[in-house]
A and B are shown apart, each in its own frame.
Chain A
Amino acid sequence: MFNFYILIFLFFNLFFSYVKASDKDMVLITSGEYTPLFKYGDVSDSSKVYVKSFMINKYPITNLQFKHFILNNPKWDLDKVGYIFADKNYLSHWENVDLDSISNYPVVNVSWFAADAYCSYYGLRLPTIDEWEYVASAGINNPNGRDEANYLQDILDWYINSQVSKIVCINSMTKNYWNVFGIHGVVWEWVSDFNSVILLNTDAEGGGLEELLYCGATATNAIDPADYVAFMRFAFRNALEANYTSSSLGFRCVKNVG
């Protein structure tokens, strides 16, 4: 009988190691520099930010992967999560839906706490704004998307001309230079330090967040005022709280290398 339990245990381990985010699901992002939307902190002499190498999930985390996480961590189940950690729309797209039909679609309606717990459980973490933006600033064939014609307008089209209902499954996502799929045009993605945009620039140049965000002068501190998509992400993160969920907000994980 004991052996049987061990067998079951081994079987489950095998099964979950398949589901578990392994290196196979991740790609290496080599270190480099990227240009953030706003100058901030002590980088005023240089507009570039250096990002260390890291691994990132090829795809956004799917409904299936998140379901397995919950099976192992029942406290993140729909009925058990408190409002402090996830609001009332947490995983609401699972209701009255055959989960098989959306298993390969990115999980949405997850809070920052849930996303963070998911990553931690697998020994991973959420990307920082800088890491995420670094990956997202790549084009199709080039680490710097701005060198590609139509890069900004193409992303903008995805954001403003597609509706939430059109979230695609991971197999039909396009990949960028880093072999990362669906970083644009599918869902928004959580980052570990989403709320740091609130602190941004409060002590630099005498202009606070309000000045950055709301005046006609919004663009004065921006390095590229034409990067509308970066402004949209900036505004989106600014409006979030850690227990918020949204039908167009998912996540993916990263891990350190070396």
Chain B
Amino acid sequence: MRYSYKCLNVYFLSFFFFFCFLGLNAKDLPKIDAITTFAPEAPPPIKRNFPAYVVVKFETIELTKELDDGVKYHFWTFDGAVPGKLVRVRQGDIIEFSLHNNKNSKMPHNIDIHAVSGPGGGAAVSNTSPGRTSVFTFKALNPGVYIYHCATPPVPLHIANGMYGLLVVEPYKGLSKVDREYYLVQSEFYTDNAYGKKGLHGFSQEKALMEFPEYVVFNGRVGSTVDTRALVANVGEKVRMFVGNIGPNLVSSFHIIGIVFDKVYVEGGSLCNKDVQTTVIPAGGAVMIEFEAKVPGNFVLVDHSIFRAFNKGCVGILKVIGQENKEIFSEKAKF
């Protein structure tokens, strides 16, 4: 008699576990809207220690705006910006991704998110006509920093015209605490006019095929992060940067003049390299960089394939404010 009660317990217990597993279904996860930000800002770190059903909404928009002062280009964008918004989720989250194509678009668009394990990274199910919306879900299985981009044929053209951004999947344990975070994407533009020539520039397929860009820029335009738009940090602060490179052709040799990266999460993955001067970011890849701002000054972000920085626009500024530290850096004399 006692034995059979025990059996019954096991029976109920197994039921209990069965329902526990059911509880992990996407529908039972807490549903939240993703917090997304335009470059160079990054959404706040994730405080959750449990998975959620995260809703992300993007709209593809085709619009003409400045690529440089006085230079205009007809961009294809996610949410009107180049790069598109930074999305931040947690490993194990289910993401419901909704892609709306503005009704004034001329092109269909879709999205390939490199964090997706599935056909086309989502592109296979998201080719969306103007005025329409496509929705798909995926589970963020791997932590890391991931590129997303439009992959509607002809793929290179949709990328070259500005359709890309980053999605960060924080590991279960979260990322270490820092004082500031920034979001940066490097890309090229193949214009049918020479660099700096005023007016409306079109896309040159010839230059794209030759891999000969007129512009190489951070965050979608020349001077996106200089002067009043410069990135800022205070002396002593820990800074983290999510830096992507979409190409479409070039590999970036990312470097900040006058700063050594304390940590580089190579290719945006889990491998951490330390004490790095210049890090390679493949086309269609990303990297996570951490360093401490040690002394004040203007620190120049470049692609150290240096003609791109000097002649094609690939320059940004990190302005560090605060007390000098003469032990670390000081000018002595000139002779």
Cβ contact within 8 Å between A214 and B74: no
* Cβ–Cβ < 8 Å partners of A214 in chain B: 110, 112, 119-120, 123-124, 151, 155
Cβ contact within 8 Å between B130 and A247: yes
* Cβ–Cβ < 8 Å partners of B204 in chain A: 153
Given contacts A210-B119, A232-B107, A248-B130, contact A153 B206 (CB under 8 A): yes
CA distance A216 to B119 in the complex (A): 13
Instruction: Tell me, rounded to whole Å, the shortest Cβ–Cβ distance linking B51 to chain A.
Output: 28
CA distance A45 to B106 in the complex (A): 35
CA distance A89 to B103 in the complex (A): 9
Chain A residues at the B interface, C-beta cutoff of 8 Å? 87, 89, 152-153, 156-157, 159-161, 163-165, 188, 210, 213-216, 218, 226, 228, 231-232, 234-236, 238-241, 244-248
Contact of A161 among B74, B108, B127 (CB under 8 A): B74
Cβ contact within 8 Å between B153 and A213: yes
Cβ of B157 < 8 Å from any Cβ of A? yes
Given contacts A160-B74, A226-B209, contact A239 B108 (CB under 8 A): yes
CA distance A238 to B132 in the complex (A): 13
Cβ contact within 8 Å between B74 and A163: yes
Instruction: Tell me, rounded to whole Å, the shortest Cβ–Cβ distance linking B97 to chain A.
Output: 15
CA distance A157 to B132 in the complex (A): 25
Given contacts A157-B202, A161-B203, A228-B205, contact A218 B129 (CB under 8 A): no
Cβ of B224 < 8 Å from any Cβ of A? no
CA distance A216 to B107 in the complex (A): 19
CA distance A157 to B202 in the complex (A): 7
* Cβ–Cβ < 8 Å partners of A210 in chain B: 119-120, 124
Q: Identify which of residues 104-125 in chain B touch chain A, using a CB-to-CB cut-off of 8 Å.
A: 104-108, 110, 112, 119-120, 123-124
Cβ contact within 8 Å between B129 and A240: yes
* Cβ–Cβ < 8 Å partners of B132 in chain A: 239, 244
Ranked nearest first, the 7 interchain pairs of A and B with the lowest CB-CB distance are A214-B120, A239-B108, A231-B154, A231-B153, A239-B129, A228-B154, A161-B202
Contact of B153 among A160, A188, A218, A247 (CB under 8 A): A218
Cβ contact within 8 Å between B203 and A239: no
Number of interface residues of B (CB under 8 A): 36
Cβ contact within 8 Å between A163 and B108: no
Contact of B203 among A156, A188, A218 (CB under 8 A): A156
* Cβ–Cβ < 8 Å partners of B77 in chain A: none
Instruction: Tell me, rounded to whole Å, the shortest Cβ–Cβ distance linking A86 to chain B.
Output: 13
Cβ contact within 8 Å between A216 and B205: no
Q: Identify which of residues 52-69 in chain B touch chain A, using a CB-to-CB cut-off of 8 Å.
A: 62, 64
Contact of A235 among B153, B161, B200 (CB under 8 A): B153
Instruction: Tell me, rounded to whole Å, the shortest Cβ–Cβ distance linking A125 to chain B.
Output: 23
Cβ of B152 < 8 Å from any Cβ of A? yes
Q: A156-B205, A188-B106 are in contact. List 15 more A-B contacts (CB 8 A).
A: A89-B131, A153-B204, A153-B206, A161-B202, A213-B120, A213-B153, A228-B154, A231-B157, A232-B107, A235-B127, A238-B108, A239-B129, A244-B131, A246-B131, A247-B103
Considering the complex, give the chain A residue whose CB is closest to the CB of B200.
A161
| Main SS class of interface, B | loop
Cβ contact within 8 Å between B108 and A160: no
CA distance A160 to B205 in the complex (A): 11
Cβ of B279 < 8 Å from any Cβ of A? no
Considering the complex, give the chain A residue whose CB is closest to the CB of B120.
A214
CA distance A248 to B101 in the complex (A): 14
**Could you say which of B106, B131, B202 has the most chain A C-beta atoms within 10 Å of its C-beta?**
B106
* Cβ–Cβ < 8 Å partners of B186 in chain A: none
**Could you say which of B200, B205, B206 has the most chain A C-beta atoms within 10 Å of its C-beta?**
B205
Cβ of B128 < 8 Å from any Cβ of A? yes
CA distance A157 to B192 in the complex (A): 10
Considering the complex, give the chain B residue whose CB is closest to the CB of A245.
B131
* Cβ–Cβ < 8 Å partners of B130 in chain A: 246-248
* Cβ–Cβ < 8 Å partners of B106 in chain A: 159, 163-164, 188, 248
CA distance A191 to B206 in the complex (A): 30
Considering the complex, give the chain B residue whose CB is closest to the CB of A229.
B154
Given contacts A236-B107, A238-B108, A247-B103, contact A163 B64 (CB under 8 A): yes
CA distance A190 to B208 in the complex (A): 30
Considering the complex, give the chain A residue whose CB is closest to the CB of B156.
A228
CA distance A163 to B153 in the complex (A): 19
Contact of A164 among B104, B203, B206 (CB under 8 A): B104
1/0 per residue B78-103: CB within 8 Å of A? 00000000000000000000000001
Instruction: Tell me, rounded to whole Å, the shortest Cβ–Cβ distance linking B230 to chain A.
Output: 32
* Cβ–Cβ < 8 Å partners of A160 in chain B: 74, 157, 161, 202-203
CA distance A228 to B206 in the complex (A): 12
CA distance A59 to B62 in the complex (A): 27
Given contacts A218-B154, A226-B209, contact A213 B202 (CB under 8 A): no
CA distance A253 to B108 in the complex (A): 24
Instruction: Tell me, rounded to whole Å, the shortest Cβ–Cβ distance linking B83 to chain A.
Output: 19
Contact of B154 among A157, A164, A232, A248 (CB under 8 A): A232
What are 18 contact pairs spanning A and B, CB under 8 A?
Answer: A89-B131, A152-B205, A156-B205, A160-B161, A161-B202, A210-B120, A213-B127, A214-B151, A218-B153, A218-B154, A228-B154, A232-B157, A235-B127, A235-B153, A236-B107, A239-B152, A247-B104, A248-B106
